[in-house]
Structure 1
Amino acid sequence: MANTGELALIQQIRQRAAHRSGTVRLGIGDDCAVLRPPTGHDILVTTDFSLEGRHFRRDWHPAVSVGHRCLARGLSDLAAMGAKPMAAFLSLALPEGLSKTATGRRWIQGFLAGLMALADATGTPLAGGDTAAAPGEAILADIVLLGSAPRGSELRRSTARPGDSLYVTGALGGASAEFQALAARPQRFRRAIADAAHPHLFPIPRLAAGQRLRRLATAAIDLSDGLSTDLRHLCEESAVGAAVDAAALPIHPLAQASASPLDHALNGGEDYELLFTASPTARVPKQIGGIPITRIGQITRSRGIFLSGNGEDEPLRAAGWEHRI
């Protein structure tokens, strides 16, 4: 990217990100950002790639959705550990010459609009990052997020206990079902806007629920790779097993309307809901901040993971997303 293009892009990002924050003492403009964590809190850090061809396609996904999803992925990690966002750092590598075309400039503006709209909605300051020319024709975006939680209160995957009840927030399978529809007719989604009707294009990180669950849950994970896979991650870290009631699963209407609703709910991925455990004596509400909470099973002492349905139990195989590197 020519220096003038890079400087113009940085200035554009800086203007969009300019707002005051209690945690960001110094943001974009210096070699480092300066953050002030709340007294008595720990800092939590997560990072996520958004890679063209792997996580999005320019000919399928509206740019505003790509920006939204780039930030949402990291925010969901913070939600899973009960953290409050402190700051975000965006590194963006663009194909050389992209910012010199009208189409390219519109894409960049749309990406930033989507990212900053979610940043504003969740109180997440964009405090810095980096720009570079991509080595090829694909767009590469990396988001680093810092969050905070009262010292020692963060939720973990490794602390579920036998006998705990198993819960999920929201509904499952909607993102997978919408992605299937997007792949079939991407032109239908070019003007999609950020709302709950688009669980794949505009997922909603469950930050408020995660912060509330610090006082209720014994363990938690976000559903990025699919229930079957993420439940296995939680069980392996906690050295426990689980029994899941297929009839209890809250299946998203988009998945319900598909040919394979249960497969979408179990294996689809990218729902960015929270899967959590709680003591059987805990008073878990039916909803948090308007988001339904559903009991879907129980943690067991056995290391096996089973799905019950039609009076039978069968092993639940991890069939969600697996990164291949």
Structure 2
Amino acid sequence: LAIPKKCSDKEIEKLLKGILALSKKEKIKLIGGDLSKSPNKLVISITAFGVLDKKPLLRNKAKKGGYIFVSSPLGAPDEALKLFKKGAVLEEFPLSNKIKKENQLLDRFFRAPSQTRLGMILSKKSISFCSIDISDGLLKDLSRILKESEAGAVVDTDLIPKFAFGDGKETSLESALTGGEEQTLLFTVSPDKERLLKANKIKAFKVGKIISEKTIFLKSGRKMRKANAMGFDHFSK
């Protein structure tokens, strides 16, 4: 932690309380840290260590005929960022009043659903051998799996789960396909393993299929077109 002078002891205590609560929930031990002074900003840097088991989820294991799944609805972080840039403020964090559905979009920007349990089950139960977290957009991160696996994909845009908020509102297809900072899992499952998702009480959304042709196609009804692997670029101007 690099702490500016303007931060009070109470604010730091609340921060540490949150870190410890999350560590306990995810069964992760906080084993150390370092404190320093910051001239004006609060800086938080966290390093996580773990032990790799014998069945890691890799990017190069996608196989022809495998189904593509995402673990949660998409598009909220991208659309929330647009609102923040326009001056939107999340006055209460975390949200306690779920009636304020408009704020759920902003809340989701800061709090992605935990993927720890899902990742462990996918690996330990041998449901999937191929996965990536969606941090730069569904299409861009899918393209990384396809490059490593030397394969292509058909993504059914009619099946893309969009984040619902407000009174019947949902995020746009563009945000769901290309928006970054989702922090949810994209993974592939062979047809013979699909039943294991339900057997292990895993809620996931099937959005496409792996093919041999090294291209991403977007499908809607009977229409099919090639997609660009658009997404968030950390180094774009």
Aligned residues of 1:223 and 1:269 also touching (Cα < 8 A) = yes
Q: Which has the higher contact order (CA 8 A, sep 6+)?
A: 2
Whole-angstrom distance in 2 between the partners of 1:272 and 1:93 = 25
Query: In angstroms, what is the RMSD of aligned CA positions?
Result: 2.5
Aligned residues of 1:286 and 1:293 also touching (Cα < 8 A) = no
In the TM superposition, 1:14-163 aligns within 5 A as 92-95=1-4, 97-99=5-7, 102=8, 105-134=9-38, 136-150=39-53, 152-163=54-65
Does the C-alpha gap of structure 1 residues 262 and 288 become closer, same or farther in structure 2, counting only changes over 3 Å?
farther
Does the C-alpha gap of structure 1 residues 317 and 138 become closer, same or farther in structure 2, counting only changes over 3 Å?
farther
Counterpart of 1:178 in 2: which secondary structure? helix
Whole-angstrom distance in 1 between the partners of 2:49 and 2:34 = 16
What does residue 190 of structure 1 align with? 91
CA offset digits 1:270-297 (Å, max 9, x no partner): 22211001112212424855x5211111
C-alpha displacement of 1:250: 1.2
Instruction: Answer 1 or 2: which has greater strand percent.
Output: 1
Aligned residues of 1:287 and 1:293 also touching (Cα < 8 A) = no
Does the C-alpha gap of structure 1 residues 286 and 252 become closer, same or farther in structure 2, counting only changes over 3 Å?
farther
Residue 118 (structure 2) aligned to one of 176, 185, 209 = 209
CA offset digits 1:225-247 (Å, max 9, x no partner): 11111111111121211110000
Aligned residues of 1:199 and 1:271 also touching (Cα < 8 A) = no
Residue 230 (structure 1) aligned to one of 141, 146, 152 = 141
C-alpha displacement of 1:185: 4.4
Whole-angstrom distance in 2 between the partners of 1:320 and 1:106 = 39
Structure 2 unaligned blocks of 5 or more: 99-103
TM-score by length of 1: 0.62
Aligned residues of 2:56 and 2:129 also touching (Cα < 8 A) = no
Does the C-alpha gap of structure 1 residues 284 and 242 become closer, same or farther in structure 2, counting only changes over 3 Å?
farther
What does residue 316 of structure 1 align with? 227
TM-score by length of 2: 0.83
Q: Number of matched residues?
A: 224
What does residue 69 of structure 2 align with? 167
Whole-angstrom distance in 2 between the partners of 1:275 and 1:305 = 15
In the TM superposition, 1:266-305 aligns within 5 A as 266-282=177-193, 283-286=195-198, 289=201, 292-305=203-216
Aligned residues of 1:224 and 1:271 also touching (Cα < 8 A) = yes
What is the aligned-residue identity percentage?
A: 27
CA offset digits 1:70-128 (Å, max 9, x no partner): xxxxxxxxxxxxxxxxxxxxxx2234x234xx4xx444334323322221211111111
Does the C-alpha gap of structure 1 residues 148 and 118 become closer, same or farther in structure 2, counting only changes over 3 Å?
same
Aligned residues of 2:55 and 2:129 also touching (Cα < 8 A) = no
Counterpart of 1:127 in 2: which secondary structure? coil
What does residue 181 of structure 1 align with? 83
Q: Does 1:257 align with 2:165?
A: no
Whole-angstrom distance in 2 between the partners of 1:106 and 1:270 = 29
Aligned residues of 2:134 and 2:184 also touching (Cα < 8 A) = yes
Aligned residues of 2:70 and 2:207 also touching (Cα < 8 A) = yes
Whole-angstrom distance in 1 between the partners of 2:198 and 2:75 = 20
For 2:108, the aligned partner's letter is P
Aligned residues of 2:71 and 2:186 also touching (Cα < 8 A) = yes
